[in-house]
Amino acid sequence: MAHSPELSVGRIPIVGVQPSLEEGRWPVRAVVGESVPVTATIFREGHDSEGATVVVTRPDGRRERLPMPIDNWGLSLYRANWTPRQEGLHTFRVEAWSDPVGTWLHAAEVKIHAGVDVQLMLDEGVAILTRALKEVRRAPAKQALLEQAIASLLNGRLDPESRLAHASSAELHEVLTAAPLRDSVSASREYPVLVQRELALASSWYEFFPRSEGARQNRRTGEWTSGTFTTAAKRLPAIAAMGFDVVYLTPIHPIGTTHRKGRNNSLKTEPGDPGSPYAIGAAEGGHDAIHPDLGTMRTFKTFVKRANEEGLEVALDIALQCSPDHPWVTEHPEWFTTRLDGTIAYAENPPKKYQDIYPLNFDNDPEGIYHAVRDMIQVWIDAGVTLFRVDNPHTKPLDFWERFLADVASSHPEVIFLAEAFTRPAMMHTLAKVGFHQSYTYFTWRQSAEEMGEYLEEVSGPSSFYMRPNFWPTTHDILTPDLQRGGAAVFKMRAALAATGAPSFGIYTGYEFVENVPRPGAEEQIDNEKYEYKPRDWDKADQHGIVTLLTALNDARRRHPALRRLRGLTVHHTTNPQFLCFSRHLTAEESPTGRPDTIIVIASFDPYHVQSGVVSLDMEALSLADDARIVVDDLIGTDTYTWGRDFYVRLDPADSLVHVAAVRP
Amino acid sequence: MAHSPELSVGRIPIVGVQPSLEEGRWPVRAVVGESVPVTATIFREGHDSEGATVVVTRPDGRRERLPMPIDNWGLSLYRANWTPRQEGLHTFRVEAWSDPVGTWLHAAEVKIHAGVDVQLMLDEGVAILTRALKEVRRAPAKQALLEQAIASLLNGRLDPESRLAHASSAELHEVLTAAPLRDSVSASREYPVLVQRELALASSWYEFFPRSEGARQNRRTGEWTSGTFTTAAKRLPAIAAMGFDVVYLTPIHPIGTTHRKGRNNSLKTEPGDPGSPYAIGAAEGGHDAIHPDLGTMRTFKTFVKRANEEGLEVALDIALQCSPDHPWVTEHPEWFTTRLDGTIAYAENPPKKYQDIYPLNFDNDPEGIYHAVRDMIQVWIDAGVTLFRVDNPHTKPLDFWERFLADVASSHPEVIFLAEAFTRPAMMHTLAKVGFHQSYTYFTWRQSAEEMGEYLEEVSGPSSFYMRPNFWPTTHDILTPDLQRGGAAVFKMRAALAATGAPSFGIYTGYEFVENVPRPGAEEQIDNEKYEYKPRDWDKADQHGIVTLLTALNDARRRHPALRRLRGLTVHHTTNPQFLCFSRHLTAEESPTGRPDTIIVIASFDPYHVQSGVVSLDMEALSLADDARIVVDDLIGTDTYTWGRDFYVRLDPADSLVHVAAVRP
């Protein structure tokens, strides 16, 4: 084994630096204003003192230095919280160093107290503090404190403990922590952190099918007229009024007619069936074109402008698959798989067939497909789209996404991609690592309080440094058993969990009406909007109080930074297995407001019975004393409660299955 | 973010490759014949099949390829066991690839069974198996199987399922697993593995003070005559007969007289007190010299030769510290710390003083000290020493050790270093990472059955890839409370735990006599051998049966490879909290003999009462069916038992506190 200096353990060892993904293979992610805990295992030989610093290099090359105090002596763990203030690729390194002042001070305090080597300790102190004064730059007021400590050490009229007093004062300690005298500085490697805008982490999405908004059926002929961008834009004020950040449109492209699916996923279409917007491409164009029923690029841009005026950003759906009528099928048959019999392979999961869809084959002409997709996305970015929901990214090669997402980010770092991959964990995690900003999750399928608690702990744990969950109670594809049964009470409870359990959540339109009838044998809605027009009577939207609830939840998220962060979650013990209690807590240091922020959520998973039980808060996790009393306001109700560590809760489905309680400062 | 191909996720993603230390910052360790599990998370887009291979590059550059089958589908985890056959620095990488045969076969089996695309599936099979035949080299008999499968697919006289039969046979699967057709091969980075000789992992040590062996006291004058290498060598046959591999000598160098410690660590010496051998250096020389009382370099080499003839290797103690009389103090005062008053700093842990010891200061002249230590160690290697027990390595800089150990290993890879660092975990783990072959552990202080079980699981877990524990029931510095009280029964039990709980263990001489009286207020022996001569009456050595026990334990270790491995340990449930039951199990694939090997150890931690309880074996961990019956022989007793999953155990301190049971094949 040759001695390799760049991998050396270093004079003062630094191991296990976090956060890091395979030692910098990919950058970890953060957003502006999000507190990032940097930790490392640091120790040294013998009894001398060491110290540590985090050095952050910003995108412009400027450096920021943070004191890194010890966090757990037994584990030799040091920690600093760093809060990025600008977007872009940062790097950080950890520096560990010999601390001659600390070494001397520890010995001096013990020995002078014991009357051992007194003069020697005082003399050494003068020498070391003089070095600290001369070798490190500080403001004059700080240097004066050092000079004062030196003068005291030299002052023969005082007794030895008094001569030492200034040197061991808290004030001097603070000065030396901010600007320490550092010997034998050792450095870790540089670790990358990609800082993005806050919306990449914290966002609330509202999904709808633009063709449904303003769609009209002729009562006489039964014929439908599609909604358009212009009619759909009329929904925007209401969506904005509920406090959403993002309006997400299912695909807006021309829809194929070959093997078009009918209502309820039927293989037979009836005349006038609009087809699934996921069967993309027809004579009118492909992924860069607009369905003529919806409007034109001009009216689409007007829609985007209207949304922006309402404070909403627009998300489009990217489904990289083609109907048999897509222009690419004839222009680039090499982008698909041609079977031995000369036909193009449609999508299959043998023995199931999806003959309305041709998957792309990324291996035949990777460069050709890459540039076509890159050009296509630019069309929509140029039209003002700033977010994309990517359909089934796990059916396309990951090296394609890695290249594509890096490429888009280099010129459009503001653009956000949400991965819709419901699959095994390794794929979901790696999609996040290679560049997706957000991810759909298993939230929807976590049906019991215990499962949900474990899942909340999981997504807010170590994966929080790269994978940002986006919680959806339903989608146009998913209606889980609990929502098929429990009525409005469960719809409300799961909306509240989604809005508070993760910093990003989304609602699929119609949720307001408690649309909970499944297609028999399927976990999706009957009369699925994918295959038909579905206009809704928005005048009755708040009949279940869900508009009011969503408005309150989005308002709470806006006012409480704890709800816009992924880390800081704790699940608390309850005596009732139907209950889930969790908190989101930011310390003053971690909070962008500089004030601590704490939300406590308590939900009952039983929509049929009144449930009660005792909740026991992990007070330490909330930075509270064990005997503290807290006053909380329910942000989705009107009640105020006073709680201690243990308190009784009763949740009646006739009233509400959930409290979202903000702790008063 | 620029697209960085060497860090790309790859066409078929590979993440989380293990074993690795910070992605190759240091090599993981293995010994010749030790099974190394290589794991990685591998998956791909869509529904097509993937496969994986481990490629090992040996020190001579030759490559070895191992099929890497899936181990856990849900976790996307692949695994291969690799057993190194030669010493030296190896690297491995993981390759993942598209598996066109697997993709086709899965579709063909489903679709032909369902009568869908039958001819197309058969035609595609011919095309793909023809590629597999032509593009990959195999022995003629294997290729014949492929040809047969192709001929069947083409055989129009058979029904479709029969035409497919050969292609989906187990025989063909085996041929294609050994030599697969691989498309889109993606590779991980290279990960280093340093392979050492087996003694680096599995060794049994016997420690003694050579001056005590053959030391004589003049009855009239009370004066002592030191033992010598020549008299000490007389102990070697008995040590070898007990089956030990290593004889370890405490320091053999000249001992300082300034501030020499007297008996029982007294600050006052009496005339004739020999002093601590850890106060190294006097007029006669330093670390490269021999104490004149013990002999000369010539007689030392004769001692080493005698040991080698008995099948023993010799370990020396390296304590990098100096008495005030060490030649380095006058020749190189810059290697020590000079205080402001001009004196050389002695060792201190304020307010405690150790005035007989001057610590080296590695920062003043690192190169000078480095070369002096390197030259010194060469003296002993040239004299035939092949192991070193390093005293307090955690009080010297780790970058010193990293350089030193790499340097020694480059010319003497056979030389083994054991770290005596009883300190915080981070230091102990990092000493192992930077190159120590073995480590003393907390074994000695794990006093309850539960603590011990947890500790055994810990040391045989992920750290087993770099840190190799060496378990000592006592040392010349340590006599724990349980051993001060429980008598011979506990001495035997802890010797058995040490010998079976880790692949390396050590015994400090005198253990045979149950020397269990502590110096009051200390956890070490009274009349500590560090400060006086301690000859023993070896004719009575087996009075407690401990010689017999140690002989049986070392014999069991020699015959059972499961006892010479760190991984493969399982702690089993017992109904009695005083009981610890653990097993060591190697599958046939993991075992160097090619046969499975299983040892079950059951110990009672209560030396005062008869204890009984039920043990429930984790049968899966032993590769046994849940209803299997096993016949076991107690290797340190004479009994044979028949056990099932649950069985009753009774341990009587009057008889034995421990079973070491070998499962009959």
Q: What is the CATH number of the domain that holds B85?
A: 2.60.40.10
Do A15 and B426 make contact, defined as CB atoms within 8 angstroms?
A: yes
Q: What is the DSSP string of A388-444?
A: EEEE-GGGS-HHHHHHHHHHHHHH-TT-EEEEE--S-HHHHHHHHHTT-SEE--SGG
Among the partner-chain residues B9, B76, B435, the one whose CB lies closest to the CB of A434 is B9
To the nearest whole Å, the CA of A559 is away from the closest chain B CA by: 33
Q: Say whether both A503 and A392 belong to one domain.
A: yes
Classify residue B350: in a domain, yes or no. no
Model confidence at B351, in pLDDT bands (50, 70, 90)? confident
CB B234 within 8 A of CB B215: no
Classify residue A327: in a domain, yes or no. no
Contacts of residue B111 in chain A, CB cutoff 8 Å? 350-351
Q: Say whether both B259 and B299 belong to one domain.
A: yes
What is the predicted pLDDT for the residue at A7? 64
The whole-angstrom separation of Cα B443 and Cα B463 is 15
What is the predicted pLDDT for the residue at A404? 98
Nearest partner of B76 among B45, B40, B106, judged by Cα: B40
Token digits for B239? 């040590």
Q: How many domains does chain A have?
A: 4
Q: Which residue of B has its CA nearest to A90?
A: B1
**pLDDT at residue A3 above 80?**
no
CA B361 to chain centre: 31
CB B619 within 8 A of CB B572: no
Q: What is the mean pLDDT of chain B?
A: 96
Q: Say whether both A208 and A175 belong to one domain.
A: no
Mean pLDDT confidence for A83-109? 97
Residue type, A64: E
Do B398 and A45 make contact, defined as CB atoms within 8 angstroms?
A: yes
Host H or E run for residue A50: strand A50-57
Q: Give the number of C-alpha atoms closer than 13 A to the C-alpha of residue A417, restricted to the C-beta side.
A: 26
Tokens 């005349």, residue located: A271
What does residue B468 show for φ and ψ, rounded to 5 degrees?
-110, 110
The packing angle between helices A398-411 and A425-433, to 10°, is 30
Instruction: Identify the residue among A22, A43, A45, A154 best suited for mutation to test binding to B, counting B beta carbons within 10 A and taking the highest.
Output: A45
Contacts of residue A426 in chain B, CB cutoff 8 Å? 13, 15, 41, 43, 75-76
The whole-angstrom separation of Cα A190 and Cα A204 is 34
As beta bridge partners, residue B574 has B615
Classify residue B344: in a domain, yes or no. no
Do B350 and A430 make contact, defined as CB atoms within 8 angstroms?
A: no
Do B15 and A426 make contact, defined as CB atoms within 8 angstroms?
A: yes
Contacts of residue A419 in chain B, CB cutoff 8 Å? none
SS3 for B285? strand
Classify residue B346: in a domain, yes or no. no
Q: Say whether both B628 and B582 belong to one domain.
A: yes
Contacts of residue A411 in chain B, CB cutoff 8 Å? none
Q: Which CATH number covers residue A215?
A: 3.20.20.80
Contacts of residue A73 in chain B, CB cutoff 8 Å? 424
Q: Say whether both A588 and A556 belong to one domain.
A: no
Q: Say whether both A60 and A143 belong to one domain.
A: no
- CB-count burial class (<10 Å; 0-12, 13-18, 19+) for B36: buried
**pLDDT at residue B379 above 90?**
yes
Tens digits of residue pLDDT in A122-167: 999 999 999 999 999 999 999 999 999 999 999 999 999 999 999 9
Mean pLDDT confidence for B451-474? 98
Q: Say whether both B618 and B575 belong to one domain.
A: yes
Classify residue B325: in a domain, yes or no. no
To the nearest whole percent, how much of chain A has pLDDT over 70? 99
Classify residue A368: in a domain, yes or no. no
Model confidence at B7, in pLDDT bands (50, 70, 90)? low
**pLDDT at residue B350 above 50?**
yes
Q: Which CATH number covers residue B107?
A: 1.20.58.80
Nearest partner of A349 among B47, B102, B113, judged by Cα: B47
The whole-angstrom separation of Cα B416 and Cα A578 is 58
Q: Say whether both B95 and B123 belong to one domain.
A: no
Mean pLDDT confidence for B376-392? 98
CB B439 within 8 A of CB B428: yes
What is the predicted pLDDT for the residue at A4? 46
Among the partner-chain residues A353, A359, A430, the one whose CB lies closest to the CB of B9 is A430
Contacts of residue A348 in chain B, CB cutoff 8 Å? 107
Residues 6+ apart with CB under 8 A from B297: B290, B383
Mean pLDDT confidence for A394-416? 97
**pLDDT at residue B4 above 50?**
no
Among the partner-chain residues B106, B123, B351, the one whose CB lies closest to the CB of A340 is B123
**pLDDT at residue A360 above 60?**
yes
Q: Which residue of B has its CA nearest to A8?
A: B399
Model confidence at A352, in pLDDT bands (50, 70, 90)? confident
What does residue A354 show for φ and ψ, rounded to 5 degrees?
-125, 80
Classify residue B419: in a domain, yes or no. yes
Residues 6+ apart with CB under 8 A from A638: none
**pLDDT at residue B2 above 50?**
no
Q: Which residues of A are the active-site residues?
A: 391, 420
What is the four-CA torsion angle of B396, B399, B403, B406, rounded to 10 degrees?
90
Q: Which residue of A has its CA nearest to B128?
A: A340
Contacts of residue B23 in chain A, CB cutoff 8 Å? 22-23, 25
Do A359 and B7 make contact, defined as CB atoms within 8 angstroms?
A: no
Tens digits of residue pLDDT in A579-632: 999 999 999 999 999 999 999 999 999 999 999 999 999 999 999 999 999 999
Do A15 and B110 make contact, defined as CB atoms within 8 angstroms?
A: no
- How far CA B600 is from CA of A129, A497, B631, B663, in Å, comes to 61, 49, 11, 8
To the nearest whole Å, the CA of B23 is away from the closest chain A CA by: 6
Among the partner-chain residues A116, A194, A394, the one whose CB lies closest to the CB of B351 is A116
**pLDDT at residue A6 above 60?**
no
Q: How many CB atoms lie under 10 A from the CB of residue A111?
A: 19
Q: Say whether both A426 and A532 belong to one domain.
A: yes
Q: Which CATH number covers residue B634?
A: 2.60.40.1180
Among the candidates A561, A584, A611, a domain finishes at A561
Do B399 and A8 make contact, defined as CB atoms within 8 angstroms?
A: yes
What is the predicted pLDDT for the residue at A203? 98
Q: Which residues of B are the active-site residues?
A: 391, 420
Model confidence at B6, in pLDDT bands (50, 70, 90)? low
To the nearest whole Å, the CA of A53 is away from the closest chain B CA by: 19
Global pTM reads 0.96
Rg of chain A on CA atoms, in Å: 30
ipTM at complex level: 0.95
Model confidence at A641, in pLDDT bands (50, 70, 90)? very high
Do A43 and B184 make contact, defined as CB atoms within 8 angstroms?
A: no
**pLDDT at residue B5 above 90?**
no
The dihedral through the CA atoms of A165, A166, A168, A170 has a sign that is positive
Q: Which pairs from A122-130 meet CB under 8 Å and 24+ separation?
A: A122/A153, A122/A154, A122/A160, A122/A163, A122/A164, A123/B340, A123/B341, A124/B339, A124/B340, A125/A150, A125/A153, A125/A164, A125/A167, A126/A150, A126/A153, A126/A154, A127/B340, A128/A100, A128/A101, A128/A104, A128/A181, A129/A101, A129/A153, A129/A167
Q: Where in the sequence is the domain holding B123, given as residue range(s)?
A: 101-181
Among the candidates A148, A167, A196, a domain finishes at A196
The dihedral through the CA atoms of A111, A114, A120, A124 has a sign that is positive
**pLDDT at residue A1 above 80?**
no
Among the partner-chain residues B13, B396, B434, the one whose CB lies closest to the CB of A430 is B13
What is the predicted pLDDT for the residue at B3? 40
Do A120 and B340 make contact, defined as CB atoms within 8 angstroms?
A: yes
Q: Say whether both B394 and B537 belong to one domain.
A: yes
Q: Say whether both A410 and A519 belong to one domain.
A: yes
Tokens 């075992």, residue located: B591
Tens digits of residue pLDDT in B201-242: 999 999 999 999 999 999 999 999 999 999 999 999 999 999
SS3 for B636? coil
Tokens 């699940």, residue located: A571
Among the candidates A196, A223, A256, a domain finishes at A196
Q: Say whether both A401 and A486 belong to one domain.
A: yes
Among the partner-chain residues B9, B43, B184, the one whose CB lies closest to the CB of A402 is B9
- Name the DSSP class of A645: S
Q: Which residue of A has its CA nearest to B104?
A: A350
Nearest partner of A340 among B122, B246, B522, judged by Cα: B122
Contacts of residue A339 in chain B, CB cutoff 8 Å? 120, 124
Classify residue B227: in a domain, yes or no. yes
As beta bridge partners, residue B31 has B196
Do B424 and A43 make contact, defined as CB atoms within 8 angstroms?
A: yes
